[in-house]
Amino acid sequence: MDELLLIETVERYLKGDMTAQEKIFFEEIRKKNPDIDQLVVEHTFLFHELDKQANIKAFKHSLYEVESKLAEEGIISKKQLTGKAKVVFLWKKYKRSIAVAASIAGLVSIVTTASISTYNNKVDNSNIKDLIYEVKKDTDKKIAEFKDSLNQKTSKRNPNPNYRATGFLIDGKGFIVTNAHVVNRLKTIYVENNKGEYFTAQTIYADKNTDLAILKINDTSFKAVYNLPYSINKTNSNLGEQIFTMGYPRNEIVYGEGYLSAKSGNEGDSTAYQLSVSVNPGNSGGPVLNKNGQIIGIITSKNSTADGVVFAAKSKNIYKLLDALKENGDTVSIKLPNNTGLKGLDREQQVKKMEDFVFMVVGN
Amino acid sequence: MSNLEQEKQLLDGLALNDGAVIESIYRDNYPVIQSFILNNNGNSDEARDIFQEAMIVIYEKAVSGNFELNCLLKTYIYSVCRRLWLKRLHQLQRYGSLVENIEETVAVEEDLELHEKHNTDFILMEAAMNKIGEPCKSLLDAYYLQKKNMQEIAADFGYTNADNAKTQKYKCLVRLKKLFFAQYKNGN
């Protein structure tokens, strides 16, 4: 018998889709033919395993949902320990390794001094390139116009942008994080969602040091969205962590994946990470997520002479930005998302859920 | 007696992946476990992980159908979490004596061994799924894990009809089977 047909038959048999007569006939064959019997046994096992897989996955997803609900209510504490308590905790945790590290530190420092001093001379800022995209007059504009004509119902304006970058929502009321170098170059700012709808936006805060900026959509046609599925990580991520990013190097959203390759940015900048991921002009301001769907950083720039050296501002800077905003006496209240709706999902599903919250930032 | 019946109902609900039941178990038990782990060299993220794993242990038992609870669910959860946490501490090489309230515990070693086994199978299957490549992975995932029907799948994946999708699905299943059993035999 043809193997595929045989498997189909076995599957129908196991699911109980056979008529009584068929079943008797099949069992007869099974009895006479040990090979087929073996196949039935194997497939029973395989289907059983697949079923278990499906159930556990579904169950895990329910667990995450319950968890994030209870975390909202404060029954499950989400906060990492902060301040003094954290230091004490870390001290306890690493007492032994610190002791060991301290004893060999002297030795290492002598050995590495020479190499650091020679290496440092080579670092040159001219290689660092912001990832904002200058829109070419011809093709991109035509595409934008064409998209516009398709979307006449939704987008009222055609901003005819000169620059393009990326941003993402940090509060469904219309607050978007992007790069400071993006907003500094734009006089008028528009954001566009993946449905092609344009909204006007204004900068409410920009910080050159971390290269981050917060925009507020001030367009009346913008409707607040709820339940951003991600959270914004407050702690440092680990070396080697798998990451992915989404952004607009093209007129269409583009996905990229890679890993965290160093815990500091250009010239040891401790407010940034170095990533190995493929990004291009236009990716600036794009969110960097880990496998659990937590935002760990924001793409800022790349080294134009070295391969795969990309820098991203650490996500905890967003918290600092909000603090600075408060100190400025600003009255805006931004509530950062804290959900785990992406945890445990396949990458495609994570991306699908993410898409709606990643915006194109354009302007002149 | 009515208490036991109530708990039996909880387990039945759990086996059906009932969100309300999961929530009520969390509400009743999470705080105790969290403070136990925080008191013993852990942090709140680790408490979440441990509790989640314990929930999966109970779920697996509940699904297997022969779960006879000889003690309060609360005691059982505490025992599982305690055991899991001791093991984790050992792996992390954070030694120290346990600080705990005097809580009753029951033996859970056998259950955890079984869970370990389930867990390995889960990882093997996931690895096999990741190895078969696209479109097989998505196709099998859609049919066997997300339980979509063949018409839907044919439309989603751009097959001209359900029969084509079906043929492709069986081809993929043959590959999955090969990969899975190859690893399964190696692993055991």
Which residues sit opposite B161 in a β-bridge?
none
**DSSP secondary-structure letter at B143?**
I
- In chain B, what residues touch A8 (CB-CB under 8 Å)? 166, 170
Residue of B nearest to A7 (CA): B170
Return the half-sphere exposure (C-beta side, CA atoms, 13 A cut-off) of residue A335.
10
pLDDT at B14 over 80: yes
Touching check for A123 and chain B: CB below 8 Å?
Answer: no
Q: For chain A, what percent of residues have pLDDT higher than 90? A: 19
User: How many whole angstroms separate alpha carbon A338 and alpha carbon A227?
Assistant: 9
All domains in chain B, ordered by first residue: 2-107 (1.10.1740), 111-187 (1.10.10)
Determine which of A186-190, A312-316, B20-24 has the lowest per-residue pLDDT on average: A186-190
**CA dihedral defined by A199, A205, A208, A212, rounded to 10 degrees?**
-60
Which of B17, B19, B145 lies closest to A53 in CB terms? B145
Give the list of residues 6+ apart from residue A263 with CB closer than 8 angstroms, or none.
A236, A239, A273, A274
pLDDT level of residue A101 (50, 70, 90 thresholds) = low
Band (pLDDT 50/70/90 cuts) for residue A178 is very high
Residues 6+ apart with CB under 8 A from A352: none
Tell me: pLDDT of A154 over 70. Answer: no
**Beta carbons of B146 and A42 less than 8 Å apart:** no
Q: Which residue of B has its CA nearest to A65?
A: B19
Residues A65-96 pLDDT 10s: 888 888 877 777 754 444 445 555 555 556 65
At the topology level, CATH places domain A129-364 in Thrombin, subunit H (2.40.10)
Contact B129, B141 (CB under 8 A): yes
Q: What ipTM goes with this model? A: 0.84
Interchain pair B170, A59: CB under 8 A: no
Distance from CA of B26 to the nearest CA of A (A): 8
Domain positions in chain A are 3-73, 82-122, 129-364
Q: Which residue of B has its CA nearest to A96?
A: B94
Query: For residue B106, which phi and psi values (nearest 5 degrees)?
Result: -120, 165
Q: What SS3 class is residue A295?
A: strand
User: Which pLDDT band, with edges at 50, 70 and 90, does A153 fall under?
Assistant: very low
pTM of the model: 0.48
Q: How confident is the model at residue A273 (pLDDT cuts 50, 70, 90)?
A: very high
CA distance A317 to chain B (A): 21
Length of chain A: 364
State the best of A76, A94, A345 to mutate against chain B, taking most chain B CBs within 10 Å: A76
Q: How far is A41 from chain B (nearest CA, A)?
A: 12
Query: What pLDDT, on a 0 to 100 scale, did the predictor assign at position A222?
Result: 87
Inter-chain touch A81–B174, beta carbons under 8 Å: no
Nearest CA in chain B to A62: B19
Q: What is the pLDDT of residues A210-264, one digit of tens each?
A: 889 999 998 888 888 878 889 999 888 899 999 999 999 888 899 999 999 999 8
B30: nearest CB among A47, A76, A89: A76
Distance from CA of residue A132 to its chain's centroid?
19
Highest mean pLDDT among A92-101, A191-200, B179-188: A191-200
- Residue in A43, A54, A79 closest to B145 by CB: A54
Q: How many CB atoms lie within 10 A of CB A263?
A: 15
Judged by CB atoms closer than 8 Å, whether chains meet at B177 and A65 is answered as: no
Higher pLDDT: A110 or B132? It is B132
Q: Which of B19, B94, B173 sits opposite A62 (nearest CB)?
A: B19
Task: Give residue B140's identity as a one-letter amino acid code.
Answer: L
Closest Cα in chain B, distance from residue A62 (Å): 6
Which residue has tokens 């170095």?
A: A274
pLDDT of residue A357: 92
Answer positive or negative: Cα dihedral of B40, B41, B47, B53: negative
Contact across the interface for B145 and A75, Cβ inside 8 Å: no
Average pLDDT of every residue of chain B: 82
- Residue numbers of A between 26 and 65 with CB closer than 8 Å to B: 42-43, 46-47, 49-60, 62-63, 65
Mean pLDDT for all residues in chain A? 79
* Distance from C-alpha of A362 to C-alpha of A158, rounded to nearest angstrom: 11
- On whether the CB atoms of residues A48 and A15 are closer than 8 A, the answer is no
> Quick one: which of A172, A148, A220 has its CA closest to A359?
A172
Q: Which residue has the tokens 């709820």?
A: A226
Chain B: closest CA distance from residue A45 (Å): 10
Q: Looking at chain A from residue 213 to 232, which residues have their Cβ under 8 Å from any Cβ of chain B? A: none
Q: In whole angstroms, what is the distance from residue A337 CA to residue A233 CA?
A: 10
Per-residue model confidence (pLDDT) at position A195: 83
